[in-house]
Amino acid sequence: MTTSIRQRVRQRKLPMSADAATHHTSTGLSNVKLGMWLFLGSECLLFGGLISTYMLYRGRVGEGPTPSQVFDIPFTSVSSFVLLMSSLTMVLAVSAAHKNDDRSMRLWLAVTALLGATFVGGQVYEFTAFYNEGMGFTTSLFSSSFFMLTGFHGVHVTVGIIMLMSLVGILKRSKVPGSKSETVEMIGLYWHFVDIVWIIIFTLVYLIPA
């Protein structure tokens, strides 16, 4: 009788152990976190290539306007500040997730998305102003590399906004599958990465003269 009970206990424990193995790697990170870090690593290589291309061609303006003629540093500085503040609100959202404060978490996620949308709106306004001043995508090698780099970053911010608002919507209707705090952390990692990349882009493109 005792042997039979022990066998049943072992059978119940085995699936749990197997399930834990499928959700964690030998590094101690969950599969989701490891996957996100690998994805961000590949994104580093991609942005590194785009930044290198811009640095190579930023002095080749041809007959188009030069950076000093079209860049509005004060305006872009304000947009950059708005994006950086979104990192703070993202931290507050992650903190609320760890405390199981769903209301605060949804609030800070929505605020983060709003700040990101403000940045993207400023970028669209800036691109429109550049075009009106004679700097289009095909105007010169400088303009092509500039629009490719900053536009690609803008797409990443937009993707982040979609993820944030989707998560807010899911949280309103039902519970997030799996660990809620881990889901928010993963989106937070992506968002902080996008912000750090912009600091590098803003410094190299806008603050350091060609």
Whichever domain contains 137, its CATH number is 1.20.120.80
For residue 96, what are the domain limits?
A: 30-207
- 8 pLDDT exceeds 80? no
- 12 pLDDT exceeds 80? no
Residue 23 lies in a domain: no
Q: Which helix (H) or strand (E) holds 129?
A: helix 102-132
- 9 pLDDT exceeds 50? no
- 4 pLDDT exceeds 80? no
Q: Which helix (H) or strand (E) holds 116?
A: helix 102-132
- For the four alpha carbons of 32, 33, 34 and 35, in that order, the dihedral sign comes to positive
- For the four alpha carbons of 195, 197, 199 and 205, in that order, the dihedral sign comes to negative
User: Rounded to the nearest 10 degrees, what angle do helices 141-173 and 102-132 cross at?
Assistant: 160
For residue 23, the model assigns a pLDDT of 54
For residue 164, name the pLDDT band (cuts at 50, 70, 90).
very high
Residue 2 lies in a domain: no
Residue 134 lies in a domain: yes
CA distance 183 to 12: 28
- 29 pLDDT exceeds 70? no
- How many domains would you assign to the chain? 1
